[in-house]
Amino acid sequence: MDKTLVEKMIELAMEQLKFSYAPYSHFLVGAVLLGKNGKFYTGCNIENAAYTPSNCAERTAFFKAVSEGERAFQAICIVGGKEGILTEYAAPCGVCRQVMMEFCDPDTFQIILATAKEQYEIFTLKELLPMGFGPNNLS
């Protein structure tokens, strides 16, 4: 993936931290999803006092994109940390990985985890969810 594009995605994901609603965990997460159409879809985590209705930043971005008709994706960038301080990579939870499996090719979809524009790693969905269960399993 082009370094300039990765850096742009990291910037956009970091901007989403200011929208995070995390009054319970204080762990702010921002994400930006890149559709194959070239459009960016952003998301932040949104907590709830009942916990279960909470939504991760990654799923917020996916649900926004899908609700706008997008179904094909290239990559997602995720940043997060306690009080919004990025000290380590914020990997997607299992539920988010499963949502990615629904819409993305696990061999090619890229997941960018970052703590700064210059500090990031890129993984494929297959690396983070080996032997994932997706729509092809139901064919």
Q: Which residues are catalytic?
A: 58
Helix, coil or strand: residue 86: coil
Say if residues 66 and 103 touch (Cβ distance below 8 Å): yes
Report the distance separating Cα 8 and Cα 55, nearest Å: 24
Say if residues 83 and 58 touch (Cβ distance below 8 Å): no
